[in-house]
Structure formats: structure tokens, C-alpha cells
Amino acid sequence: MTSLSTHFILCGKRQVYTRALKIYLETQHLAENNFFLCSTLLLLPTTVLCMHCTSITLLNLHGNSLRYREIKNDLGKVTTNWRTRT
């Protein structure tokens, strides 16, 4: 999360980092109980995404088999890919 913090502060995107950190903490809590957040809870407004990045990993989860969400910005189009980290 350190790299996210540094990047978003420099780019003035603190809202994104704050939201990502909140999701990270909530996911960590739910993962301990073998639950995951609903996908709608992880959605972020596209207007607050950093335009300097072609790929932003919002969640850098630690542990085994935790899900994280990667948002890719390709010519203004935002797509979501779910992956399982092992």
C-alpha cells in the first residue's frame, strides 16, 4: 500500500487511495471469516482514476487465495478483472 499512497498523493488522487485502503481493510476482515466483498462495493468512479497509469492495482492483499481487483484504463475505457492470488 505504500506505493499506492505515494503515487496518489503526488497525483492528487487521495480519494482513490482512501477508498482503496478502506476496501483493503474490509477485505482483510472478511477474508478472515472466509467471505469476500460484493463486487458492487468495490466499484470506484472512473473520474477519480489516475490518468497517468495504464494499470492500477487497487488492492495489494497479503495471504493465501485472497481476491483483488485490478482496474485497467485503456483509452478511457475501464474494465475490471478479478484474479485470485495464491
For residues 46 and 28, give the distance between their C-alpha atoms in angstroms, rounded to a whole number: 24
Check residue 79 and give its pLDDT.
43
Nearest to 4 by CA among 14, 13, 15, 17: 17
For residues 38 and 41, give the distance between their C-alpha atoms in angstroms, rounded to a whole number: 6
Check residue 25 and give its pLDDT.
55
Supply 32's cell numbers.
478472515
Check residue 45 and give its pLDDT.
38
Q: Where are the domains of the chain?
A: 2-85
Residue 37 phi/psi, 5° resolution? -70, 150
Q: pLDDT truncated to tens, each residue of the chain (86 aa)? A: 344 444 444 555 555 555 555 555 555 555 444 444 333 333 343 333 443 433 334 433 333 233 334 444 444 444 444 444 43
Going by DSSP bridges, is the β-strand pair 77-85/55-57 parallel, antiparallel, or unpaired? unpaired
Check residue 67 and give its pLDDT.
38
